[in-house]
Amino acid sequence: MKRREVLTLLAPALLLGACKESEKFTLPTIVTGKVTYEDGSPVEGAELRFSGLKRHSLTNISLVFEETVYTDASGKYSASHVIPKERDFVEIKMSEGSFDEPTPAYGYDVYLLVDGVYRRGLTYMIPYGNYGKTTTVDYELRKK
């Protein structure tokens, strides 16, 4: 009798967990943030790419989806996409540009704000647990 009571209590929780898992692939994953210079001023026109990739082998990776967004005058950006199940990983990446096609990040070191700490890097891998939710990724550009 006690086993049945326990199962009766656990069944709704298990169903709720299953629903949340399926929502990862039906609700949009949203990435928002702000790009600033090290003095705190906003960076307008910085290019960011929100993408999902699938690994076929060690050297063969294909693009499943990609959305390119740019920061506004206040340095803010937002990207949104329903994550397909056939991806292996999802990332947000700032473009540094090049001499031929410079972006506001060209000539700067790029830092990501992760867990309250800045670390050098262009790319942030969106954790699987954040699919179907909103993730905030801030960037800071520092002179080289």
Closest-CA residue to 32 (of 86, 62, 74, 64): 74
Per-residue pLDDT at 57: 81
Q: From the CB of residue 8, how many other CB atoms can be counted at a distance below 10 Å?
A: 9
For the chain, what are the domain ranges? 27-143
What mean pLDDT is predicted for residues 11-24? 52
Please provide the CATH number assigned to the domain covering 27-143: 2.60.40.10
Q: Tens digit of pLDDT for each residue in 43-75?
A: 999 999 999 999 888 778 888 999 999 999 999
Per-residue pLDDT at 31: 97
Residue 116 has pLDDT above 60, yes or no: yes
How far apart, in whole angstroms, are the C-alpha atoms of residue 67 and residue 14? 34
Give me the chain's average pLDDT, please. Answer: 85
